[in-house]
Chain A
Amino acid sequence: MTEADLTPSERSGIVRDSLAVGVATGAYGIGFGAVSVASGLSVAQTCVLSLLMFTGASQFALVGVVAAGGAPLSGAATALLLGTRNTLYGLRMGPLLQWRGWRRVAAAHVLIDESTAMAVNRQTTAAVRLGFVTTGASVLVLWNLATVAGALAGEAVGDPRTYGLDAAVGAAFLALLWPRLKDRRNVLVAALAAVVALTVVPLTAAGVPVLTAAGVALLVGVLARRQDPTEVPGPEDVAGGHR
Chain B
Amino acid sequence: MWTAVLLAAIGCYVLKVAGLSLPQRVLEHATVERVADLIPVALLAALVAVQVASSGPELTLDARALGLGFAVVALALRMPFLVVVVGAAVVAALARLL
Contacts and interface: CB of A to CB of B under 8 A. Distances in A.
Interface of A: 24-25, 27-28, 31, 40-42, 45, 48-49, 52-55, 57-58, 60-62, 64, 66-69, 72-73, 75-76, 78-95, 97, 99, 104-105, 107-109, 111, 161-178, 180, 185-186, 189-198, 201-202, 206, 209-210, 212-214, 216-218, 220-222, 224, 227-228, 230-231, 239-240, 242
4 closest A-B pairs by beta carbon, nearest first, are: A90-B19, A167-B67, A164-B92, A221-B35
Interface of B: 1-13, 15-22, 24, 26-27, 30-31, 33-54, 56-59, 63-64, 66-68, 70-72, 75, 78, 80-82, 84-94, 96
Given A49-B9, A93-B20, A217 B35 contact: yes
B93 A210 contact: no
B82 A222 contact: no
A167 B91 contact: yes
B86 to A, nearest CB: 7
- A-side interface mostly: helix
B59 A201 contact: yes
A196 B31 CA distance: 22
A197 B24 CA distance: 33
Contacts of B48: 170, 173-174, 177, 194
Nearest to B17: A108
Contact of A58 (B8, B42, B96): B8
A213 B42 contact: yes
A134 B54 CA distance: 40
Nearest to B26: A91
Nearest to B75: A178
Nearest to B2: A45
B11 A171 contact: no
Given A88-B27, A168-B85, A194 B9 contact: no
Contact of B82 (A28, A79, A180, A193): A28
A213 B71 contact: no
B91 to A, nearest CB: 7
A89 B3 CA distance: 27
